[in-house]
Structure 1
Amino acid sequence: MKRTFELNFEDMMNISKKDLLLSISSSEGRTVMAETDVAKQPIVYGVSNPELAAAFGADMITLNLFDFDAPFIFGIDDKDLAISDASDMVNKSAEIQKILHRNSADRDYIRKIKNVVGRLLGVNMEPIPKNINYCEGRKLNKKNLEKASELGFDYIVITGNPKTGITNEDILNGIKEAADILGDKAIIIAGKMHGAGSDNIYDPKVLQDFSKAGADIILIGAPGTIPGLDFELCRRQISAIHETGKMALTAIGTSQEGANLNVIQDMALMSKMAGADIQHIGDAGYGGIALPENIAALSIAIRGKRHTYRRMAYSLRK
């Protein structure tokens, strides 16, 4: 089985859930995930943030704020509209609506996006509490889970954006629902990278409960990202996850994805020493993506320039 940083374009397009989990496990902590906010204009004109994250060394790209009711990725879907500011959005609203209608009816939409980005694609899905007003197309529910399976996402991430009030119980219930619907179609990643308007997770037992509920990979904050989460606590949490036979993902999701290179490198090395199987870097640098050089810095820190450059060069090899 190839390791994730050895997967080429064809591998990425056709890999099964079972083989992807084996590929991640075989990589010995050297898998890089980058999150991008697809509801924002990209930071570089003419190229989407997912493509940029891929170019700087990410193996897996997670789409944040993706709307299942109105699929649209800036930098890809608006390439013929030449939108540069808010007035363009208003003036070309009719054209945008046509694109949204077309995308909503396209069962191969995400497969086509994968063909552009050349990476494994996942999506954030949020188990929003009933008392929180939130966009329906971004919620974790039966309808959106079925769409995620149909569209061909490689994985989903059950977590919470800031101020959503998502609790540990919400995540636990979301895992159970996702496991019933997705089966062997997509990997389920679940956990918290910050409080999400509720509480941070410190108790390893909570993480084991996520695993037993059906999550394939458990998400926790990287050392130094949330108050009190140091290397030792991170190591204990990951050990508890591994005891259940599941893998662990450490996330930089507290806007530190826009920090200096040495901060990213320190977090990456501490996460690797703690036993992380995947390392995630979030979307809060500028304009819905980590600083691109920080994606590369994380990759180089945990797998060196040789494997980082391979991943960058494999971008669209068919």
Structure 2
Amino acid sequence: MKRIFELCHSEIMAMEKRDLIETIRASEGRTVMAEVIINCPPLVYGVSNPELAAAFGADMITLNAFDFNFPFIFGIDDLGIDFFRGLEAFDNIPSRVRENLENPGYIKKVKNITGRFLGVNLEPVPEGIDYPEGRVLNESNLKKALEWGFDYIMITGNPKTGVTDGTILDGIRRASAILKDRLMIIAGKMHGAGGNNIYDPDTLRSFAVAGADVVLIPAPGTVPGVDLELAGKQIEAIHEEGALALTAIGTSQEGSDESTIEQFALMSKMAGADIQHIGDAGFSGIALPENIMELSTAIRGKRHTYRRMGYSMRK
């Protein structure tokens, strides 16, 4: 099995869940995930945030704020819209959304453009929370994630959503029943999300037992009280249940200086992380691109970082 940073475009496009998990295992803690917001204009005009994340070394790209009822990715779906005409240029967005809804290969097209594994956030928000239906973890969106061609889902909570460990656990069970062995399930909290952080390793065990293939925790140094020692204990519990572990930088520190990112990366690797995630809160829905590259360089060196960057479209 090749390591994830050795995979070329055609291999990524053809890979299924079981092989994705195995290529991550084979990479020995050197897998980089970048999360990007796609419902706002991208950092660089004419280049989508997913494409930019891929260009700077991400192996996996998670779409945040993607709405299954309103599928539109700025930087990809708005190409051809003349921004210099002003706000009226956006009048044709609804027609583009309708086209995407009717196109069963829409996400596969986006994956082909980026040449990376694509995932999507689905949030198990509690009852009574006013939240866009197309972004909530429910049966309809789970089936669409599978049918549209995503490689994985991320069950977590954006700030102020009130997502709890209980709603995450319920979400894992619902997702597992629908997705089974066809889509990788990642679940956990990278910050409080309007509630409490998760510190108890047994809670993380329950996520793996319920069906999460990957359990996520905050990277050491990103959440109060989560240091190298605690992260190590949490990851040990996750691994004992047979799941992979992901450490997340999701506290706006993805906009910190490069030396801070390097510290997060090295502590996460020492703790035993299989995947390292960097969030979307740099500027305009993406980490500072050089921080994505710094994370990659810290955990796998320049040789493999440049390999990943250079393999974007090799068939």
Task: Indicate whether the TM-score tops 0.5.
Answer: yes
Query: Given the alignment of the two structures, is residue 120 of structure 1 paired with residue 117 of structure 2, yes or no?
Result: yes
Q: What is aligned with 1:286?
A: 283
Q: What is aligned with 2:104?
A: 107
Query: Given the alignment of the two structures, is residue 265 of structure 1 paired with residue 248 of structure 2, yes or no?
Result: no
For residues 96 and 250 of structure 1, the distance between their equivalents in structure 2, rounded to whole angstroms, comes to 36
Q: What is aligned with 2:182?
A: 185
SS of equivalent to 2:120 = strand
- Written as runs of structure 1 = structure 2, the 5 A alignment for 1:153-192 is 153-192=150-189
Q: What is aligned with 1:4?
A: 4
For residues 96 and 268 of structure 1, the distance between their equivalents in structure 2, rounded to whole angstroms, comes to 39
Please point out which of 127, 138, 142 is paired with 1:141.
Answer: 138
Query: Given the alignment of the two structures, is residue 88 of structure 1 paired with residue 77 of structure 2, yes or no?
Result: no
SS of equivalent to 1:92 = helix
Which string of whole-angstrom CA distances, capped at 9 and with x for unpartnered residues, describes residues 237-283 of structure 1?
00000010111000000000000100000000000000000000000
Q: What is aligned with 2:57?
A: 57
Q: What is aligned with 2:45?
A: 45
Q: What is aligned with 2:77?
A: 77
TM-fit CA distance, 1:112: 0.4
**Structure 2 unaligned residues grouped into runs of 5+:** none
Query: Given the alignment of the two structures, is residue 298 of structure 1 paired with residue 295 of structure 2, yes or no?
Result: yes
TM-score under structure 2 length normalisation: 0.99
Which string of whole-angstrom CA distances, capped at 9 and with x for unpartnered residues, describes residues 195-224 of structure 1?
000110000000000000000000000000
TM-score under structure 1 length normalisation: 0.98
Which string of whole-angstrom CA distances, capped at 9 and with x for unpartnered residues, describes residues 120-156 of structure 1?
0000000011110000000000000000000010000
TM-fit CA distance, 1:93: 4.1
Query: Given the alignment of the two structures, is residue 150 of structure 1 paired with residue 147 of structure 2, yes or no?
Result: yes
Query: Given the alignment of the two structures, is residue 256 of structure 1 paired with residue 261 of structure 2, yes or no?
Result: no
Which string of whole-angstrom CA distances, capped at 9 and with x for unpartnered residues, describes residues 77-105 of structure 1?
00110336xx834x134411110001011
Which string of whole-angstrom CA distances, capped at 9 and with x for unpartnered residues, describes residues 23-51 of structure 1?
00000000000000001111101100000
- In the alignment, is the contact (CA less than 8 A) between 2:82 and 2:89 conserved in 1? no
Moved over 3 A (4+): none
Letter in 1 for 2:182: K
Matched positions, count: 315
Q: What is aligned with 1:310?
A: 307
Identity %: 63
Please point out which of 225, 234, 237 is paired with 1:237.
Answer: 234
For residues 275 and 40 of structure 2, the distance between their equivalents in structure 1, rounded to whole angstroms, comes to 25
Please point out which of 193, 208, 211 is paired with 1:211.
Answer: 208
Letter in 1 for 2:237: A
For residues 86 and 262 of structure 2, the distance between their equivalents in structure 1, rounded to whole angstroms, comes to 39
Letter in 2 for 1:45: Y
Letter in 2 for 1:36: V
TM-fit CA distance, 1:183: 1.2
- In the alignment, is the contact (CA less than 8 A) between 2:81 and 2:90 conserved in 1? no
Which string of whole-angstrom CA distances, capped at 9 and with x for unpartnered residues, describes residues 268-314 of structure 1?
00000000000000000000000000000000000000000000000
- In the alignment, is the contact (CA less than 8 A) between 2:40 and 2:74 conserved in 1? yes
For residues 288 and 130 of structure 2, the distance between their equivalents in structure 1, rounded to whole angstroms, comes to 31
Q: What is aligned with 1:25?
A: 25
- In the alignment, is the contact (CA less than 8 A) between 2:122 and 2:136 conserved in 1? yes
Letter in 1 for 2:313: L
Please point out which of 128, 134, 146 is paired with 1:131.
Answer: 128
Letter in 1 for 2:56: F
TM-fit CA distance, 1:232: 0.2
Letter in 1 for 2:310: A
